[in-house]
Amino acid sequence: MVKYRCTVCNYVYDEEKEKTKFRDLPENWRCPVCNAAKNAFVELDRDIKATIKGKTTVSDVMVEQMVEWGVKYVFGIPGTSSLGVVDALRKNDRIKYFQVRHEQSAAFMASAYGKLTGNIAGCLTVAGPGATNLVTGLYDAKLDYAPVLALTGQVERYRIGTDATQEIDQHSFFEPICVFNKTVMSKDQSTSLVTQAIKHALMERGVSHIGIPNDIQKLPFETKIKSFEGNLANRATLPSKKLLKNAVEIIDNSNRPVIIAGFGARGQGNNLIELAEKINSPIITTFRAKGIIDEDHPFYMGCHGSIGSTAASKLVENSDLLIIIGSSFSDLTQIPEKRTVQIDIDPLMIAKKYPVEVGLVGNSAEILPHLLKLVNKRDDDAYRKEMNNLKKEWLALLEEETLKDMSPIRPQYIIHLLNQKIAPNAIIAVDVGENSWWVGRNFWMRKEQDILLSGNLLSMGFGLPAALASQITYPDRQVICITGDGGFSMVMGEFLTAVKYDIPVKVFLMNNKQLGMIMQEQKVENYPNWQTELQDCDYAGFAENCGGIGIKVREPEMLESAINKALKLKKPVLVDIDTDPRRFI
């Protein structure tokens, strides 16, 4: 029998107690505590050992404790000061270790896993340069509220503070990044520090770090493993009836409400549609929340912000109430100051930038059904007609931009074809660069699809590691990476990782031989274009040399067949597409 954890509220579904296998529950089954969807649950370990016996070490104990608390994957590079932990991972067949080519990628992969699943993965490296190389990926996790467990080796305890080789003040280094940051100084801390680290990462949705001195990793040790169940508080929360009533009154008295859904509303597509239809409101999303509902739904108006739709911006501008659900208020989303009802699980997000009429703290999965029951149904044919016309105008503009015969190939045409070809439940990992503009603006997602971004850090190089983590986690789903030559070249060594582990990601590389986003920013700010040109590379040839499949696309008529071929192959594929560095809008 297996146990499953709700990643929204931490309720544990125990098949033995419930007498029903989780997979046999209907697809519309909801968490009995917080109302989260079935797909919000992650499987805990199947075969828990209550006590480790025999010739075991501190490292064995720590790894076993990680397994008990739901860690399934660790990404990293082995090295001198982490060999004890690496060997413990080798010996434990209930956790998988993936060797990467750069520690930044290990942290990106752990961050992407946290964003995609709500569960926690680990990244492991050595003291000194290994630790410092993690920092970009860990900051990505910190700013996007993804749970991550960072493990770093450290020099022997007696050498700490002696300027030993590869020794840095790791505690001070990680302190600004982490919600939990400790060093194991005694073998008796093995289970307690692991459980506290994971608890903090899950409850505070952030990065936990444990430094493990080289000598303590190898000490013989036996102890009881701390169980997961009963050791993690439930996160289910619901506002008072008075606050819910206040919110309902404001919604009922509005004439032009607009729903803005952020990443915190993931999994609530059906509730959002029901609410929108009942109060006659358009649904607009942040970039990270794309795909929260089918984007061809008549109430969906696109993203808001710098890469958003004209329909979204006009409706928000002319609204008299914003209902904002799970948004981080990124500068790029550009949410204006309006009368607002805001829902967020983090109380510090309420009124983050502007005062709100009512702030409802709690899970959107719990709050939305209550609002649905309480708000009045309304009809406003004129408002619906306006929404419909604005969306038609926006879609007509996107179609007009496609121009499939233009060479070099327009990025809009690339996105147009990918939109038609990829699987309805694909996972789309998007790198940062001009390519991300076109995904946010021109790609229309389905509810079953997932999108992964470096949302607040906006770090180039995120796309490929995120795609690898996604394909490892969901081997039966199609995973594609949309990247540019700038972002891909920062982490291109990880294509070797894809080949080594036979991870069949599909990389679509928009090759404009430019840092295209920076080129456009220089233009907007009236700077001369300088130092944005990139030396070209035969990326398709590189993929072939790595042992994968490389496909070069130079002309528009080659693109459709290249995409079809790539999506059919069961190996890592890179499609290198010549595109235009000039921005056409």
Token pair of 34 as six digits: 């917080």
For the segment(s) 1-44, the CATH number from 2.20.28.10, 3.40.50.300, 3.40.50.150, 2.40.40.20 is 2.20.28.10
Query: Helix/strand/coil (H, E, C) string of 502-548?
Result: CCCCEEEEEECCECHHHHHHHHHCCCCCCCCECCCCCHHHHHHHHCC
- 319 with 338: CB under 8 angstroms? yes
User: How far separated are the first and last CA of the chain, in Å rounded?
Assistant: 55
Tens-level pLDDT at each residue, the chain (585 residues)? 789 999 999 999 999 999 999 999 999 899 999 988 898 999 886 654 544 555 799 999 999 999 999 999 999 999 999 999 999 999 999 999 999 999 999 999 999 999 999 999 999 999 999 999 999 999 999 999 999 999 999 988 988 888 888 889 999 999 999 999 999 999 999 999 999 999 999 999 999 999 999 999 999 999 999 988 888 898 888 899 999 999 999 999 999 999 999 999 998 999 999 999 999 999 999 999 999 999 999 999 999 988 899 999 999 999 999 999 999 898 889 999 999 999 999 999 999 999 999 999 999 999 999 999 999 999 889 999 999 999 999 999 999 888 888 888 999 999 999 999 999 999 999 999 999 999 999 999 999 999 999 999 999 999 999 999 999 999 999 999 999 999 999 999 999 999 999 999 999 999 999 998 898 889 999 999 999 999 999 999 999 999 999 999 999 999 999 999 999 999 999 999 999 866 544
- 272 with 368: CB under 8 angstroms? yes
Q: Give 151's strand partners.
A: 124, 210
> Which distant-in-sequence residues (6+ apart) come within 8 Å of 172 by Cβ?
none
Q: Go through 82-99 and write b for each residue having 16 or more CB atoms within 10 A of its CB, e for each that does not.
A: bbbbbbbbeebebbebbe
By CB atoms closer than 10 A (0-12, 13-18, 19+), residue 464 is buried
- Beta strands of 53-137 (E only): which ranges? 73-76, 96-99, 121-125
- 92 with 49: CB under 8 angstroms? no
| Nearest CA-CA partner of 417 in 316, 276, 560 | 560
| Nearest CA-CA partner of 159 in 205, 107, 216, 119 | 216
For the segment(s) 241-390, the CATH number from 3.40.50.10440, 3.30.565.10, 3.40.50.1220, 2.60.120.10 is 3.40.50.1220
- SS3 label, residue 42: strand
Pairing of strands 41-43, 3-6: antiparallel
Alpha-carbon distance of 461 to 484, in angstroms, equals 9
Alpha-carbon distance of 247 to 224, in angstroms, equals 49
Q: Same topology for domains 56-217 and 241-390, yes or no?
A: yes
| Nearest CA-CA partner of 63 in 169, 232, 191, 243 | 191
What's the confidence (pLDDT) of residue 46? 60
Task: Specify the DSSP class assigned to residue 230.
Answer: T
Q: How far is CA 255 from CA 318, 379, 516, in A?
A: 10, 10, 42
Alpha-carbon distance of 385 to 139, in angstroms, equals 44
Alpha-carbon distance of 108 to 477, in angstroms, equals 20
pTM flag (> 0.85): yes
In single-letter form, the type of residue at position 412 comes to: Q
Pairing of strands 3-6, 12-14: antiparallel
Alpha-carbon distance of 367 to 247, in angstroms, equals 11
Alpha-carbon distance of 170 to 181, in angstroms, equals 9
Region label for 53, one of left (φ > 0), alpha (ψ between -120 and 50) or beta (otherwise): beta
Helices (H), 225-329: 241-252, 269-279, 310-317
Alpha-carbon distance of 513 to 485, in angstroms, equals 7
- 58 with 87: CB under 8 angstroms? no
| Nearest CA-CA partner of 201 in 378, 469, 7, 401 | 7
Token pair of 229 as six digits: 């169940």
Alpha-carbon distance of 149 to 110, in angstroms, equals 8
What is the arrangement of strands in the sheet containing 73-76, beginning at the earlier edge strand?
Answer: 96-99, 73-76, 121-125, 148-154, 207-213, 178-183
What's the confidence (pLDDT) of residue 585? 44
What's the confidence (pLDDT) of residue 582? 67
What's the confidence (pLDDT) of residue 50? 45
- Determine the topology of domain 403-578 in CATH: Rossmann fold (3.40.50)
Alpha-carbon distance of 255 to 203, in angstroms, equals 38
- 30 with 45: CB under 8 angstroms? no
Q: Go through 100-137 and write b for each residue having 16 or more CB atoms within 10 A of its CB, e for each that does not.
A: bbbbbbbbbbbbbbbbbbbbbbbbbbbbbebbbbbbbb
Alpha-carbon distance of 442 to 419, in angstroms, equals 9
| Nearest CA-CA partner of 581 in 525, 513, 529 | 513
> Which distant-in-sequence residues (6+ apart) come within 8 Å of 464 by Cβ?
105, 429, 431, 481, 483, 488, 491, 492, 494, 495, 498, 505, 507
CATH architecture of 56-217: 3-Layer(aba) Sandwich (3.40)
Alpha-carbon distance of 210 to 197, in angstroms, equals 7
Count of residues for the chain? 585
Q: Where are the domains of the chain?
A: 1-44, 56-217, 241-390, 403-578
Q: How far is CA 271 from CA 50, 158, 275, 342, 374, in A?
A: 41, 57, 6, 16, 13
Alpha-carbon distance of 299 to 307, in angstroms, equals 19
Alpha-carbon distance of 480 to 326, in angstroms, equals 26
> Which distant-in-sequence residues (6+ apart) come within 8 Å of 197 by Cβ?
149, 180, 182, 208, 209, 210
